[in-house]
């Protein structure tokens, strides 16, 4: 990575390695991760548990020491700085609100440690409580608040000292669905209004897609793909990303020939012929990903599509998930809009067709 870029960006991670333990029991949590996060960005680290996303967040916060590599904050190398000397605040997964302090004292904690004047602390705490809509709760203890309210206090406490970077460690995971969806919008709004760089850690791909400017999809201590929500969903770079972000059909196929630049005619093992974006010479085996919503389904047999049998229909509200089997028994998953008067029945015959470009070739 260019040093120039590391100096310009809000956060620069350069070849960071983290190894826990030593000798035979050593576990490598990060295997040389490099990425840079721009100022004012809503950046998400997304991955399954154990992928290293929380470790990376804790390294940026200063709770963990790197085993190798460098960490920059606005061009300044910070590996050696203790957490209290980094202009970075964290919203913890379990909030970690101080139980012996009131809401007001919790929010004021960072400002007090920064030796801000009483009037400034008072003013700032008032502002923060307004932003998170908790005015009137100043004298309560965290134990007297609901989960959603505690979460707002945690957010206000971390934002009060006006950090340059806000780290959020799965902050919504303890909330129920409705509240979670509402908080997503609020978080995004607060990020846009304050202009603070947010680094958000989550294992929830929907959350990541809904809020992020850019997403780093992580697995096994490495960044698998870095891009916008659309990039990682529409153009997954490998099988892990395609499988982890959203549902997908992973299919093996053989390249038949060219169909324009970066497009190949392919035939799957089941005899389904389609055009996929990607490369390769005729005869080469490739892995394809087809999103369930990109396959269309018509009841009955006929037309130019591939015949299949409907195996099972799962009702999802807005959509229905349809599991079908092709002639040789190979399964495919489809997602069809839940329109009224549909004649789909388990056991009945149907025809599927895959639009050109819906299939994507994947690297391993």
Partner 1 sequence: MASPQRHDLKRYPGFGAVTWACIVLLYAPMLVIMIYSFNELRSITTWGGFSFAWYLKALNNPQLHSATFNSVVVALVAATLGTILALCAALAMTRGRQLKHQSASFALLNLPLMVPEIVTAIGSLVFFLAIGIQLGLSTIIIAHTVFCIPFAYLPIAARLQGLEGYFEEAARDLYATRWETFRYVTLPLTMPGIISGYMLAFIVSLDDFIITNMVAGPGATTLPMAIYGMVRTGFTPEINAISTMMLLVSALFVSASYLISRRGASS
Judged by CB, which is closer to partner 1: 82, or 283? Answer: 82
CB of 18 to partner 1, least distance (A): 17
Site string for partner 1, 102-131 (x = CB under 8 A): -------xx--xx-----------------
Q: Is 63 in the site for partner 1 (CB under 8 A)?
A: yes
Q: How far apart are CA 68 and CA 32, in angstroms?
A: 8
44: nearest Cα among 177, 217, 193, 195:
217
CB of 167 to partner 1, least distance (A): 8
Judged by CB, which is closer to partner 1: 89, or 361? Answer: 89
Q: Which residues pair with 329 in a beta bridge?
A: none
In the numeric block, the tokens 């996060």 are attached to 37
Judged by CB, which is closer to partner 1: 196, or 209? Answer: 196
Judged by CB, which is closer to partner 1: 113, or 133? Answer: 113
For residue 172, which phi and psi values (nearest 5 degrees)?
A: -100, -5
Q: How far apart are CA 135 and CA 216, in angstroms?
A: 36
Judged by CB, which is closer to partner 1: 1, or 81? Answer: 81
Judged by CB, which is closer to partner 1: 165, or 310? Answer: 165
Residues 67-106 that bind partner 1 (CB under 8 A): 82-85, 88-90, 92, 94, 96-100
Judged by CB, which is closer to partner 1: 10, or 295? Answer: 10
Distance of CA 42 to the CA centre of its chain: 11
Judged by CB, which is closer to partner 1: 66, or 253? Answer: 66
Site string for partner 1, 185-214 (x = CB under 8 A): ------------------------------
CB of 156 to partner 1, least distance (A): 12
Which positions ≥6 away from 208 have C-beta within 8 Å?
44, 46, 200, 202, 215, 229
Size of the site for partner 1 (CB under 8 A): 25
Question: Is residue 41 within 8 Å of 183, Cβ to Cβ?
Answer: no
Q: How far apart are CA 352 and CA 354, in angstroms?
A: 7
Q: How far apart are CA 202 and CA 184, in angstroms?
A: 12
Q: Is 289 in the site for partner 1 (CB under 8 A)?
A: no
CB of 251 to partner 1, least distance (A): 44
Which span sits near partner 1 by CB under 8 A: 24-32, 57-65, 292-300, 302-310?
57-65
173-197: b or e for each residue (b if 16 or more CB lie within 10 Å)?
A: eebeeeebeebbeebbebbeeeebb
CB of 41 to partner 1, least distance (A): 21
Site string for partner 1, 152-171 (x = CB under 8 A): -----xx--x----------
Q: How far is CA 68 from CA 21, 31, 80, 225, 261, in A?
A: 14, 9, 12, 22, 41
The contact set with partner 1 (CB under 8 A) reads 61-63, 82-85, 88-90, 92, 94, 96-100, 109-110, 113-114, 143, 157-158, 161
């Amino acid at each position: 990575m260019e040093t120039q870029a590391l100096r310009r960006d809000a956060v620069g991670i350069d070849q960071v390695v983290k190894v826990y333990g030593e000798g035979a029991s050593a576990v490598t949590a990060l295997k040389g991760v490099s990425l840079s996060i721009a100022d004012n960005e809503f950046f998400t680290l997304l991955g399954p548990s154990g992928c290293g996303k929380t470790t990376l967040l804790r390294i940026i916060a200063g709770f963990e020491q790197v085993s190798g590599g460098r960490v920059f904050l606005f061009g300044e190398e910070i590996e050696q700085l203790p957490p209290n000397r980094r202009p970075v605040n964290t919203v913890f997964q379990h909030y970690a609100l101080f139980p012996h302090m009131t809401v007001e004292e919790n929010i004021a904690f960072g400002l007090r440690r920064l030796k801000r004047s009483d009037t400034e602390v008072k003013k700032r705490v008032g502002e923060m409580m307004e932003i998170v809509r908790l005015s009137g709760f100043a004298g309560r203890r965290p134990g007297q608040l609901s989960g959603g309210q505690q979460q707002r206090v945690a957010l206000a406490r971390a934002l009060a000292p006006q950090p340059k970077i806000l780290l959020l460690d799965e902050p919504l995971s303890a909330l129920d669905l409705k509240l979670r969806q509402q908080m997503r919008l609020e978080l995004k709004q607060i990020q846009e209004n304050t202009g603070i760089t947010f680094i958000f850690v989550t294992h929830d791909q929907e959350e990541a897609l809904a809020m992020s400017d850019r997403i780093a999809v992580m697995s096994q201590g490495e960044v698998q793909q870095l891009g916008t929500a659309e990039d990682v969903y529409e153009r997954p770079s490998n099988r892990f990303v395609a499988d982890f972000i959203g549902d997908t059909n992973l299919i093996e196929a053989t390249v038949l020939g060219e169909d324009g630049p970066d497009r190949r005619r392919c035939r799957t093992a089941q005899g389904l012929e389609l055009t996929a974006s990607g490369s390769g010479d005729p005869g080469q085996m490739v892995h394809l990903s087809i999103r369930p919503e990109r396959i269309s389904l018509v009841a009955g047999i006929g037309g130019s599509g591939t015949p299949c049998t409907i195996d099972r229909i799962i009702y999802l509200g807005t959509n229905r998930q349809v599991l079908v089997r092709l002639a040789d028994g190979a399964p495919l998953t489809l997602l069809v809009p839940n329109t009224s008067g549909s004649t789909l029945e388990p056991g009945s015959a149907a025809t599927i067709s895959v639009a050109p470009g819906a299939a994507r070739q994947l690297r391993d």
